[in-house]
Structure 1
Amino acid sequence: MASQALPARGARLGRAVTPGRVHVPLVPGQRQREDDDGATVRAVVLALPGGDPLSTRRRSPVAAAMIWPLARHLVRAGAAGGVAAHVVHYRFRGWNGGHAHPAEDAEWAVGEAVRRYGDVPVCLVGMDMGGRAALQAAGHPAVTSVVALSPWLPADGEPEPVKQLIGRHVLIAHGTDDESTDPELSYRLAERAKKVNREVCRFEVHSAGHTLHQHRAEVFALTTDFVLGSLLDRPYARPVADALAAPPPLGLRMPLAAGFGRSLRS
């Protein structure tokens, strides 16, 4: 990959995830602190889709479509608190070894969000390869929290960095029946991260596969509770608070209970 000439292509933010509203593109150089209806934006969610280990093809519309419903759910739940969201469109579909293109694109996207909305907290929410990108891009000063769902983590090579997670709120969720990405690898990463940052928790979604579709309602509720709690300084639901407070392995193998979120306003 290092010797291959890569296509000249830039990452970009997708249109704002604002159901029922029309997205108005920014004038070059404009700093957008309000959404399209004039509401003040107080926090931003950047949704990072999955991808392939190696590919210089354009982004995958299928992967973007998979994370869009979660981004929309987060906007609906956080509208009163001024939460805006965008799906990040990568330059390339692949991670591409040491290039780590999605992580670079995620970090660029954080800077772009700050340029548009001003000094607001940012949460990175990634699925699959996007989960790894979210974790690696967490070092940007504007990032306050990270959610990694079924993160793709290679079994070989150097251990994933964790120092960039210091000072961030971190949630990892993984299905126990995931056959695409190894849940044990995300546990090991969470264990290492917990040693340098107490604000790390990990939930196990029992009987769920890679997409977590079997427990979509619970996963959406868990993510929403964590994201809005970290961005808007709201109290976490009891299971999340307990997971953050518990030492390993308890707080890193917390089972996601069936029906989680039914009593929560989302």
Structure 2
Amino acid sequence: MAQQAVPERCARLGRAMGCGGPGAADRTVHGVVLLLPGAAREGMGRPSPLALAAARPLARRLARAGRAHGLVAHVVHYRYRGWNEPAAHPVTDALRAADEVVRRYGDVPVCLAGPGLGGRAALRAAGHPAVNSALALAPRLPDPSAGDDPDPVKQLVGRRVLVVHGTQDVRADPELSFRYAQRAKKVNPDVCRFEVHADGHGLRQYRSEVLALATDFVLGALFGRAVSRPLADAVAAPPPLGLRMPLAAFKKFLLSRRGQLIPR
């Protein structure tokens, strides 16, 4: 009896959230954000449901805030659980997801966003022609001092880039994201980085402020919307100031606006 071939797994987009979602009155899509979940370093099994679930709150927040602009958000379902160096499977999956966005929605700007290794994948896949921005939350980046090859930065040219990292992160060294942002800033002025003092890998202590900052960045990048003063200052400031911008500056701005900057 002939052995039946095992079908190859494919990356796919999760359900649409936002203007293009089920039941939406206005289905015209003008921008897309792809949420790239975190991943394990190794693993050929199916992705963790917990990682997918952790990516959904930001997807819902962005979809809700960007509905009037024509934003749709998708969580990307990877083929495998792990990064699996040197294959970097989440990067390939992010690129394929961006291809699917172009096929499905046409010529619309795309933002890649993710935590941990999902953030690393967002930065690595930002060179896709449809992508105009990348958001990395506590990205887990290689350590050249430990013999790792540094991730490239040339793919970020022409993209808007925001990195957010907790200073007490013990899973993903925040100093590595700072050094990466330094290299990226040399080839692309539209790079900034915010530090969340005393917060860890999950950025849970100041979760609402981090979500508001992410929303401010994504809507500005995708739709040319004016961003908050702290975000604009971080982009304009020379290193290291714009790469060590305290989240407290953004929190103070939110309080001055009494929460009116970003709809909850």
TM-score (norm. length: structure 2): 0.91
Residue 183 of structure 2 aligns to a residue whose secondary structure is helix
Match of 2:195 among 188, 196, 204: 204
CA shift, 1:158, in A, is 1.1
Aligned residue pairs: how many?
249
Residue 167 of structure 1 aligns to a residue whose secondary structure is coil
**Corresponding residue for residue 227 of structure 2:** 236
**Corresponding residue for residue 25 of structure 2:** 37
Counterpart CA distance in 1 for 2:57 and 2:188 is 30
Residue 86 of structure 2 aligns to a residue whose secondary structure is helix
Counterpart CA distance in 2 for 1:234 and 1:124 is 18
1:141 equivalenced with 2:129 (yes/no): yes
**Corresponding residue for residue 32 of structure 1:** none
Counterpart CA distance in 2 for 1:207 and 1:57 is 34
**Corresponding residue for residue 160 of structure 1:** 151
Return the letter of the residue paired with 1:122: V
Return the letter of the residue paired with 1:47: L
**Corresponding residue for residue 33 of structure 1:** none
- Taking structure 1 as reference, are residues 250 and 40 closer, same or farther at Cα in structure 2, changes over 3 Å only? same
Query: Per-residue displacement from partner, 1:209-246 (whole Å, max 9, x unpaired)?
Result: 10101101100010000000010101110000000000
Shift >2 Å, 4+ stretches = 36-39, 258-263
- What does 1:1-266 align with in structure 2 at a 5 Å threshold? 8-18=8-18, 22=22, 36-155=24-143, 156-257=147-248, 258=251, 261-262=254-255, 263=257, 264-266=261-263
CA contact (8 A) 1:206 1:255 kept: yes
Query: Per-residue displacement from partner, 1:156-183 (whole Å, max 9, x unpaired)?
Result: 4111100000000000000011111000
Residue 124 of structure 1 aligns to a residue whose secondary structure is strand
**Corresponding residue for residue 3 of structure 2:** none
CA shift, 1:38, in A, is 3.9
Counterpart CA distance in 2 for 1:13 and 1:200 is 27
Structure 1 unmatched ranges of 5 or more: 1-5, 24-35
Counterpart CA distance in 2 for 1:261 and 1:45 is 23
CA shift, 1:260, in A, is 5.2
Query: Per-residue displacement from partner, 1:193-216 (whole Å, max 9, x unpaired)?
Result: 000000000000011110101101
Instruction: Give me the identity figure in percent.
Output: 61
TM-score (norm. length: structure 1): 0.90
CA contact (8 A) 1:170 1:200 kept: yes
Counterpart CA distance in 1 for 2:85 and 2:154 is 20
Residue 111 of structure 1 aligns to a residue whose secondary structure is helix
CA contact (8 A) 1:149 1:173 kept: yes
Provide the alpha-carbon RMSD of the alignment.
1.7
Residue 99 of structure 1 aligns to a residue whose secondary structure is coil
CA contact (8 A) 1:202 1:251 kept: yes
Residue 33 of structure 2 aligns to a residue whose secondary structure is strand
CA shift, 1:265, in A, is 3.1
Counterpart CA distance in 1 for 2:91 and 2:50 is 19
